[in-house]
């Protein structure tokens, strides 16, 4: 039997309804702040991620689905959305538009990770990017919008971690300081960290083994080495979050798995999740567009995992899908009248369904009840409809009355009279 590939899943209709609701909230919340939808291709030139996300990152080193397109070009299923959006910004000359340009997006992403709860090989992200503004207000606006979205979706027990990575120059200096420190404590580090001291020393802050953790307690922190302007930027973001009443924890060890960040970085996690507790995160990436051969352009953004949002939100009751009218058949001869009536109802803006099986009338009424129909129109046979009557039943009150077919839709639209 052929099954869905490891780390992937089907979105069945009952799951799709919750995702649609999530998308509606995102559109409303981000749209109201001037973010406009963008979608980029699901695959891109491999080089975009190598240069954008960074060759030393786990994502580029071992999680990308890369293939030859048959013509000798290397393509990669997108592992994230920021580098592609910057590529699109450059490609379409969007620096000529009034700045900043604000985007939001929702789509599928691909990482060859070991699957577990909340971690998949194909997953969905909703994200927002503001390109062309260097202000702390931009970072704070983005953070507040993600907080609002998570709250609106009922994501439980969230925590916000905030930090600053400064500039690449500060980071380079700090990095060599950290490498020196790690070398001095090499014997206590885990094998994995020890072999990667030069490649990615910051990862040591993420380590879980007791030896490395103990070493890291005494390690120098980047936050204490920030240049004055970067420290001011962070202080301004903090003040804005304080004013907005958004709680956060300053986390000097916050490392994100992508190389493009400068200054502000943040991450929302939820205690309602297990090991994969990161719900969404992002930060400022002031050098990325230049790095991809665009004009120097400051930018900031975030992305949140849809599966993790839904997991952390739990089984939120969803607004039940509304079925205004179910057209039932007392006799098969009424099929044509029923067909026309349900079509007219949909044209009038109602959610209408008709009997498509060959159930008994009792079975049809049970079905109408199960799908939550507000009204059921029972069409007798062609003749009684021609003589002008169907039976309209209000499923809530149980009231039922014969009426002309023409009267069914106005009665439901009025919401009174039955
Ligand atoms: P990221 O932290 O790599 O950031 O991913 C964002 C979110 O996507 C994570 O917090 C998590 O919820 C979800 N996610 C990541 N990997 C998986 C996976 N394998 N399975 C399920 N969910 C996953 C970025 O992707 C950046 N582009 C965010 C950003 C935008 N930074 C600036 N602008």
Q: What digits encode the pLDDT tens for the residues 328-346?
A: 999 888 889 899 999 999 9
Cβ–ligand 1 distance for 54 under 6 Å, the answer no
- CA 276 to CA 116: how far, in whole Å? 8
Q: Please name the residue whose Cα sits nearest to atom 15 of ligand 1.
A: 305
Cβ–ligand 1 distance for 125 under 6 Å, the answer yes
pLDDT at 387: 58
**Nearest atom within ligand 1 for CA of residue 119:** 20
The alpha carbon of 29 and the centre of ligand 1 are apart by a number of angstroms equal to: 20
End-to-end CA distance of the chain: 52
- CA 31 to CA 351: how far, in whole Å? 27
Q: At 163, is the secondary structure helix, strand, or coil?
A: strand
**Which is more confidently placed, 416 or 271?**
271
The alpha carbon of 281 and the centre of ligand 1 are apart by a number of angstroms equal to: 7
Instruction: Identify the residue whose tokens are 């030139």.
Output: 45
The alpha carbon of 265 and the centre of ligand 1 are apart by a number of angstroms equal to: 13
Cβ–ligand 1 distance for 257 under 6 Å, the answer yes
What separation in angstroms does the CA of 156 have from each of 246, 251, 266, 314? 15, 21, 18, 8
The answer, yes or no, to whether residue 381 has pLDDT greater than 90, is no
- CA 374 to CA 69: how far, in whole Å? 53
- CA 155 to CA 270: how far, in whole Å? 8
Q: Please name the residue whose Cα sits nearest to atom 25 of ligand 1.
A: 80
Cβ–ligand 1 distance for 301 under 6 Å, the answer yes
Q: Residue range 255-279: average pLDDT?
A: 92
CA atoms within 13 A on the CB side of 231: 8
Looking at the chain, the whole-number percentage of residues with pLDDT higher than 70 is 96
Mutate to test the pocket of ligand 1, among 108, 110, 281, 292 (most ligand atoms within 8 A of CB): 281
206 closest CA partner among 228, 190, 229, 195? 190
E strand segments, 219-368? 249-250, 264-270, 278-284, 299-305, 323-329, 352-354
Q: How many CB atoms lie within 10 A of CB 402?
A: 13
Q: Are 251 and 162 in contact (CB under 8 A)?
A: yes
Q: Please name the residue whose Cα sits nearest to atom 2 of ligand 1.
A: 281
Q: Please name the residue whose Cα sits nearest to atom 13 of ligand 1.
A: 305
Cβ–ligand 1 distance for 119 under 6 Å, the answer yes
Please enumerate in sequence order all residues whose Cβ is within 8 A of that of 56, keeping only pairs 6 or more positions apart, or say none. 199, 200, 259
Per residue in 271-328, pLDDT (tens digit) is 999 888 899 999 999 999 999 999 999 999 999 999 999 999 987 655 566 899 999 9
Please enumerate in sequence order all residues whose Cβ is within 8 A of that of 273, keeping only pairs 6 or more positions apart, or say none. 117, 118, 279, 308, 311, 312
Instruction: Identify the residue whose tokens are 């007798």.
Output: 380
Burial (0-12, 13-18, 19+ Cβ within 10 Å), 378: buried
239 closest CA partner among 150, 144, 149, 128? 144
Cβ–ligand 1 distance for 82 under 6 Å, the answer yes
Question: What is the average pLDDT value for the chain, to the nearest integer?
Answer: 93
Least confident among 246-250, 316-320, 384-388 = 384-388
CA atoms within 13 A on the CB side of 406: 3
Q: Please name the residue whose Cα sits nearest to atom 30 of ligand 1.
A: 302
Q: Are 55 and 47 in contact (CB under 8 A)?
A: no
Per residue in 140-199, pLDDT (tens digit) is 999 999 999 999 999 988 999 999 999 989 989 999 999 999 999 999 999 999 998 998
Cβ–ligand 1 distance for 326 under 6 Å, the answer no
- CA 262 to CA 191: how far, in whole Å? 29
Strands 158-164 and 249-250: parallel
DSSP 333: G
- When pLDDT is cut at 50, 70 and 90, the band that residue 358 belongs to is confident
178 closest CA partner among 218, 219, 207, 214? 219
Strands 352-354 and 390-394: unpaired
Helical segments of 314-389, H only = 335-347, 361-370, 382-386
Q: Dihedral sign, CA of 358, 362, 368, 369?
A: negative
- The secondary structure element, H or E, covering residue 395 is none
Paired with 108 in beta bridges are 124
Cβ–ligand 1 distance for 18 under 6 Å, the answer no
**Nearest atom within ligand 1 for CA of residue 127:** 30
- CA 91 to CA 261: how far, in whole Å? 21
- CA 223 to CA 267: how far, in whole Å? 16
The alpha carbon of 122 and the centre of ligand 1 are apart by a number of angstroms equal to: 12
141 closest CA partner among 104, 166, 107? 104
Instruction: Identify the residue whose tokens are 């200096």.
Output: 173
Q: At 7, is the secondary structure helix, strand, or coil?
A: coil
Helical segments of 96-251, H only = 136-152, 168-184, 191-195, 210-217, 228-244
- The secondary structure element, H or E, covering residue 292 is none
The answer, yes or no, to whether residue 385 has pLDDT greater than 50, is no
pTM of the model: 0.85
- CA 41 to CA 382: how far, in whole Å? 52
The alpha carbon of 161 and the centre of ligand 1 are apart by a number of angstroms equal to: 15
pLDDT at 115: 96
């Amino acid at each position: 039997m052929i099954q869905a590939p490891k780390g992937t899943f089907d979105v069945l209709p009952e799951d799709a309804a919750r995702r649609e609701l999530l998308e509606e909230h995102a559109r409303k919340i981000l749209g109201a702040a001037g973010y406009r939808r963008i979608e980029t291709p699901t695959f891109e030139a491999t080089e975009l991620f190598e240069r954008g996300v960074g060759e030393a990152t786990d994502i580029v080193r071992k999680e990308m689905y890369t293939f030859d397109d048959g013509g000798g070009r290397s393509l990669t299923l997108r592992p994230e959305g920021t580098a592609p959006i910057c590529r699109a910004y450059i490609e379409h000359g969007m620096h000529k538009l009034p700045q900043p340009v604000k985007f939001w997006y929702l789509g599928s992403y691909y990482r060859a990770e070991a699957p577990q709860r909340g971690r998949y090989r194909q997953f969905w992200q909703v994200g927002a990017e503001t390109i062309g503004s260097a202000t702390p207000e931009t970072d704070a606006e983005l953070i507040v919008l993600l907080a609002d979205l998570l709250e609106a979706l009922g994501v439980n027990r969230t925590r916000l971690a905030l930090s600053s990575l400064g500039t690449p120059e500060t980071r380079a200096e700090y990095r060599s300081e950290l490498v020196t420190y790690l070398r001095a404590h090499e014997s206590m580090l885990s094998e994995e960290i020890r072999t990667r001291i030069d490649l990615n020393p910051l990862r040591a802050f993420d380590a879980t083994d007791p030896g490395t953790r103990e070493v890291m307690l005494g390690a120098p922190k980047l936050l204490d080495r920030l240049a004055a302007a970067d420290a001011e930027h962070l202080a301004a973001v903090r003040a804005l979050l304080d004013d907005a009443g958004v709680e956060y924890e300053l986390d000097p060890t916050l490392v994100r798995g992508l190389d493009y960040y400068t200054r502000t970085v943040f991450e929302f996690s939820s205690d309602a999740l297990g090991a994969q507790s990161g719900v969404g995160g992002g930060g400022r990436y002031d050098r990325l567009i230049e790095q991809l051969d665009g004009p120097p352009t400051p930018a900031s953004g975030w992305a949140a995992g849809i599966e993790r949002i839904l997991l952390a939100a739990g089984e939120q009751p969803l607004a039940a899908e509304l079925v205004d009218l179910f057209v039932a058949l007392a006799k098969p001869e009424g099929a044509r009248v029923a067909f026309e009536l349900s079509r007219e109802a949909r044209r009038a803006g109602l959610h209408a369904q008709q009997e498509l099986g060959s159930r008994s009338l009792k079975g049809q009424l049970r079905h109408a009840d199960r799908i939550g129909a507000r009204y059921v129109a029972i069409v007798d046979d062609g003749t009684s409809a021609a003589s002008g009557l169907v039976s309209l039943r209000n499923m809530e009150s149980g009231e039922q009355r014969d009426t002309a077919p023409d009267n069914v839709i106005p009665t439901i639209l009025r919401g009174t009279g039955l």
